[in-house]
Structure 1
Amino acid sequence: MNLYSDTLGRGEDVVWLHGWAMNGAVWRDVANALANDGCHHLVDLPGHGRSGSEAPLSLDMMVDALDAAFPLPVHVVGWSLGGAVAAAWALRSPDKLRSLTLVAASPCFMQRPDWRSAMPETTLAQFAASLGDDWRGTLKRFISLQAMGDESARAVARRLGEELFEHGEPSLSALAEGLAILRDTDLRERMPLLALPVLLQFGDRDTLTPLPAGTWLAQTLPQAELVVHHGAAHVPFVSHRDAFIAAQRRFFATL
């Protein structure tokens, strides 16, 4: 499988992974600001943007594609669904990742009896059910949910809406399969095995991956640093761009 990616900057390789239904364009402003801090690969995940997929999406399939596309060790930044893919990649191939940044990403995106810091099962089920009837409207509602509570909610929603189809329209099957990944993924038992430097960037107003999920990760991962962006929801790299970039630059400088 050929993964599409835009590459900019120079230095050590950094792979950036977006969230559900989006594409690598969401990272462009951040990567431009960090162009002197690394060679940045803004990836379209399989089934998203300009990266096609002939097989059903799964966490393992996405990891396979990334592992093949980037044979040398890299730094990885993953947002939301991209964070789950990044964590799974680090668990599968610990020699491939030099560092890991999880942005509003959880080891378990759906609530379980022993895990409340996540989306209710009904929320994911409603999005999955509405895809067939009005997938465009479903994506707009999901964008609104990502921005909800943010002190810059309108600007965040507008920005994500502008970038949503920048690399083409997603396929309906990929959208449904991506939601299934969010529903089924639970990496909690394996997360303590991540023995590499990890930066956690979370917003304290995030309703999709609430801050307690980030706190749990900070307490569970052996080499984790948690940065909390106050007033941010699910997209701190847009709403709190300068603070996000500063935290990322500090983290890269320590490696």
Structure 2
Amino acid sequence: MSIHFDTVGHGESVVWLHGWAMNGTVWQQVANAMADDYCHHLVDLPGHGHSPALQPLTLDGMVAALAAAFPLPVHVVGWSLGGAVASTWALRHPAQVRSLTLVASSPCFAQRDDWPGAMPASTLAQFAANLGDDWRGTLKRFISLQTLGSPTARELSKTLLSDLLQHGKPDPAALREGLDILRDTDLRSDIGKLDLPMLLQYGDRDMLSPLAAAQWLAAQQPQARLVVHHGAAHVPFLSHLDDFVAAQRRFIATV
């Protein structure tokens, strides 16, 4: 299948993967800030924005679509759910991924007995139950969780709500199946197999992908560089744009 992506800038290619329910628009400010240095591909994942849905939506299906669209080695940045997609891409096709940046992501999004630093499974189940009756309200509440804890939560929520429908509304089935991916994904046993430069950009007030997940990732990956944005929640690339861009630029320049 084909996927939609917008391209900004020139230079080495960087592929940007968004989180659940969103689209490539969320990266526009970052891409504009780095357009003089790199060529940015702002992807709409399958079932989101302008990209057609997969039936069903799976991590492997999304990775297959990305691998076909970007066969040459690229730098890959994944936020939240996009981080799981990016990690799986690097695991399945290591020759295609030059470097991996995870932003407010987690190898395991739902709490387990041995993994308390994550979202309660009941929270994901409630979002899934509410999607059918009021998908707009459900997404609005999810966005509120993403910005909770940030001093600029109101402004960040407005930006994300504006970005949400820039490329059209998400596919209903993709939303449900995306929540299933968040619930079921557990990459903890695979992360140590990655052998590539890695950057971790996280906020210390993130309620969805707590800092403990980033610290765990850093401990598993000797090559990983951890950048903590103090005062940031789940969207450090918006709330701490300048610092985020500076860290990303420094990282890619050394790869």
Q: TM-score, normalised by structure 2?
A: 0.99
Per-residue CA deviation, residues 141-184 of structure 1 (Å, 9 max, x unaligned), is 00000000012111110100110000001111110010000001
Deviating beyond 4 angstroms after TM superposition, the runs of 4 or more aligned structure 1 residues are none
Instruction: Confirm whether residue 238 of structure 1 aligns to residue 253 of structure 2.
Output: no
Which whole-Å CA distance do the structure 1 matches of 2:8 and 2:136 have between them? 31
Which whole-Å CA distance do the structure 1 matches of 2:222 and 2:95 have between them? 17
Which whole-Å CA distance do the structure 2 matches of 1:7 and 1:112 have between them? 38
Instruction: Confirm whether residue 34 of structure 1 aligns to residue 45 of structure 2.
Output: no
1:6 alignment partner, SS class = strand
Q: Could you tell me which runs of 5 or more consecutive residues in structure 1 were left unpaired when the two chains were aligned.
A: none
In structure 1, the residue matched to 2:139 is 139
- 1:1-255 equivalent positions in 2, closer than 5 A: 1-255=1-255
Per-residue CA deviation, residues 177-196 of structure 1 (Å, 9 max, x unaligned), is 10000001000001011110
Q: CA deviation at 1:54?
A: 4.3
Q: CA deviation at 1:95?
A: 0.8
Q: Say whether the 8 Å CA contact 2:46–2:54 is kept in structure 1.
A: no
Q: Say whether the 8 Å CA contact 1:192–1:222 is kept in structure 2.
A: no
1:5 alignment partner, SS class = strand
1:36 alignment partner, SS class = coil
1:142 alignment partner, SS class = helix
Per-residue CA deviation, residues 48-82 of structure 1 (Å, 9 max, x unaligned), is 00001242100000000000000101000000000
Q: Say whether the 8 Å CA contact 1:127–1:138 is kept in structure 2.
A: yes
The size of the alignment, in residue pairs, is 255
Identity rate, percent:
69
Q: CA deviation at 1:35?
A: 0.9
